């Protein structure tokens, strides 16, 4: 089943951001994009091109000619093709019939032709290509990269996976789908330390075996990871000071989870159990910096559990159209209100799960 294309991922973004990305890709491919929102403005032809500098300075110094911040993509000068006349954008306009020269520019009247009302793009272009096509059709606009995106929290931004990211993600995603396939298609999950490139925990869905409806693969995997982190931390602490009585309970719990993990690890022939070079459980705050790999898109509970645990990225193999919370039914990771954000990826070409 796995082939070379499995290393190709699609980032799951907010609907708004997804539309923006689609527009950007279409523009880059030279395809038609949505026309910009237009607004009225006043422009005038320069009678003598040598006056360009004087006029630009005058426009800069005249308050009524100032352009609002969100129109920063518009150019002031329009050099019409084939060495034609130079037009200047004077100011925004509200009334299509009002062609009077803006206040404060009267001294320049003899250098300008009659002002005319035109339509200019109010929207900000999302790419060079879009800026170029709008320039041809309406009025010259610049593509300003920092203004092209939506203002989003860092975790919600588009992330270009590097080649080594893709190779690593492909490897673990194949591993998790193989784990699922070898257990009658039960959901499976891996939590991975990306820098050390090791699996910290692997889990299967055990709702049926345990008769416990919350034992989803991702929840089990978070529990195993936390148990391992806690276990290491407690034993480190025990080395330093005699362990306090209160820690005994959680130590026992951690031990239990640990054993459960080990039995699965043995069963799946996993040897990355004892020590993780490069992974420091003592200084790990929850699952910060770890990546999660899931055979199936998580439900709201698991998605939020991953978010609470502060994982870095989530990769899932197949979408869950019925109750997936990271793309299908909801996009929990795109809520600005939440305090942590991770990036979510899925296969570029998702294969629906057969069941």
Partner 1 sequence: MRAALAEGEAALARREVPIGCVFVVRQGEENVAAEETVLTSGGNETNEEANATRHAEIVAIDRLFARVGPSAKDLLASSELFVTCEPCIMCAGALREVGVRKITFGCGNDKFGGCGSVITVDPDADLRAGLLADEAVSLLQKFYQRENPQSRDTLAAKFSAPSPSPTKVDQDVSADTLS
Q: Which is nearer to partner 1, 300 or 350 (CB)?
A: 300
Question: Computed over its alpha carbons, how large is the radius of gyration of the chain?
Answer: 29
Give the nearer residue to partner 1 in terms of CB position, either 39 or 310: 310
Q: Considering the complex, state which of residue 64 and residue 288 has its C-beta at the smaller distance from partner 1.
A: 288
- The minimum distance between CB 241 and partner 1, in angstroms, equals 10
Q: Give least dist CB 292 to partner 1, A.
A: 13
**Cβ neighbours around 270 below 10 Å, total:** 16
The residue ranges that bind partner 1 (CB under 8 A) are 210-214, 219, 222-223, 226-227, 229-230, 233, 236-237, 240, 246, 249-250, 253-254, 280, 282-283, 285-287, 299-305, 307-310, 325, 330, 332, 335, 337-340
Torsion, Cα 29 32 37 38, to 10 degrees, reads: 110
Q: How far is the CB of 169 from partner 1 (least distance, A)?
A: 23
C-alpha to C-alpha distances, 351 to 6, 135, 206, nearest whole angstrom: 10, 41, 24
What is the closest distance, in whole angstroms, from the C-beta atom of residue 245 to partner 1 in the complex?
A: 13
The residue among 180 and 284 lying less far from partner 1, judged by its C-beta, is 284
Question: Nearest distance from residue 162's CB to partner 1, in Å?
Answer: 21
CA–CA distance, 170 with 164 (Å, rounded to integer):
10
Q: Which of 9, 13, 6 is nearest to 326 (CA)?
A: 13
Nearer to partner 1, 97 or 339 (CB): 339
Q: Residue 44 region, left (φ>0) first, then alpha (ψ -120 to 50), else beta?
A: beta
Residue 247 and residue 252: Cα distance in Å, rounded? Answer: 9
Judge whether 176 and 295 are in contact, CB under 8 Å: yes
Shortest reach from residue 228's CB to partner 1, in Å: 10
Q: Classify 352 as helix, strand or coil.
A: coil
Q: Which is nearer to partner 1, 97 or 283 (CB)?
A: 283
């Amino acid at each position: 089943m796995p082939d070379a294309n499995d290393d190709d991922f699609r980032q799951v973004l907010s609907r708004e951001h997804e539309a923006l990305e689609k527009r950007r890709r279409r523009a880059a491919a030279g395809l038609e994009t949505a026309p910009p929102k237009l607004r009225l403005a006043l422009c005038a032809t320069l009678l003598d091109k040598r006056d360009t500098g004087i006029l630009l300075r005058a426009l800069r110094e005249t308050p009524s000619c100032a352009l609002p911040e969100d129109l920063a993509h518009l150019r002031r000068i329009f050099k019409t093709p084939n060495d034609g006349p130079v037009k200047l954008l004077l100011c925004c306009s509200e009334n299509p019939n009002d062609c009077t020269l803006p206040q404060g520019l009267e001294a320049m009247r003899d250098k300008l032709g009659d002002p005319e009302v035109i339509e200019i793009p109010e929207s900000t272009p999302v790419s060079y290509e879009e800026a170029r096509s709008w320039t041809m059709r309406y009025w010259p606009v610049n593509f300003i990269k920092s203004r092209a995106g939506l203002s989003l929290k860092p975790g919600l931004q588009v992330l270009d996976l590097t080649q080594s990211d893709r190779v690593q993600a492909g490897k673990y995603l194949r591993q998790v789908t193989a784990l699922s396939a070898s257990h009658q298609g039960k959901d499976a999950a891996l939590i991975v330390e990306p820098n050390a490139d090791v699996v910290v925990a692997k889990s299967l869905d055990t709702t049926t075996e345990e008769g416990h409806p919350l034992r989803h693969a991702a929840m089990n995997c978070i529990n195993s990871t936390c148990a391992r982190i806690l276990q290491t931390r407690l034993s480190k602490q025990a080395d330093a000071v005699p362990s306090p009585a209160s820690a005994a309970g959680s130590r026992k719990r951690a031990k239990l989870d640990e054993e459960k993990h080990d039995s699965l690890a043995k069963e799946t022939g996993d040897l990355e159990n004892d020590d993780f070079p490069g992974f420091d459980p003592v200084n790990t705050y929850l699952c910060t910096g770890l990546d999660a790999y899931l055979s199936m898109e998580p439900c709201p509970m698991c998605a939020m559990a991953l978010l609470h645990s502060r994982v870095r990225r989530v990769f899932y193999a197949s979408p869950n159209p019925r109750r997936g919370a990271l793309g299908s039914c909801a996009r929990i990771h795109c809520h600005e209100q939440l305090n942590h954000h991770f990036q979510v990826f899925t296969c570029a070409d998702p294969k629906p799960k057969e069941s």
